[in-house]
């Protein structure tokens, strides 16, 4: 399994946690939005790894946007859930790049 797929699973799982009503929001508030900053960094790292492996960067790019929108209570929760679904599907599918 490639590093980008592992990172997509990790970031997708974290996004799913942040998308849980009340629990995810409480966690974000308890870290004074530090969790969103950490997620932005993780999505950025994942994006660069996926780009270097010539994989899909869509989920990571959406995750970066979600990290900013995450400060808006209900919209942020919805975005975290959508981003989690996209990242997990992206991590579960194999990129069609020939490995030599």
User: Distance (Å, rounded) from C-alpha 40 to C-alpha 29?
Assistant: 16
- The structure tokens listed for 50 are 């996926």
pTM: 0.91
Q: What's the average model confidence in pLDDT over 69-77? A: 93
Burial grade of 61 (CB within 10 A; 0-12, 13-18, 19 or more): middle
pLDDT score, position 98: 46
pLDDT grade, residue 96 (50/70/90)?
low
69 pLDDT above the threshold of 80:
yes
- Taking CA atoms, 14 is separated from 67, 80, 81, in Å, by 12, 9, 10
Query: 10, 42 in Cβ contact below 8 A?
Result: yes
């Amino acid at each position: 399994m490639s590093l980008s797929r592992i990172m997509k699973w990790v970031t997708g799982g974290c996004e799913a946690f942040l998308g849980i009503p009340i629990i995810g929001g409480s966690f974000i508030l308890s870290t004074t939005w530090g969790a969103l900053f950490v997620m932005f960094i993780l999505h950025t790292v994942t994006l660069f790894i996926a780009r270097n492996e010539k994989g899909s960067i869509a989920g990571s790019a959406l995750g970066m946007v979600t990290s900013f929108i995450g400060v808006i209570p209900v919209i942020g929760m919805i975005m975290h859930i959508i981003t989690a679904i996209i990242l997990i599907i992206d991590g579960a599918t194999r990129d069609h790049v020939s490995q030599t």
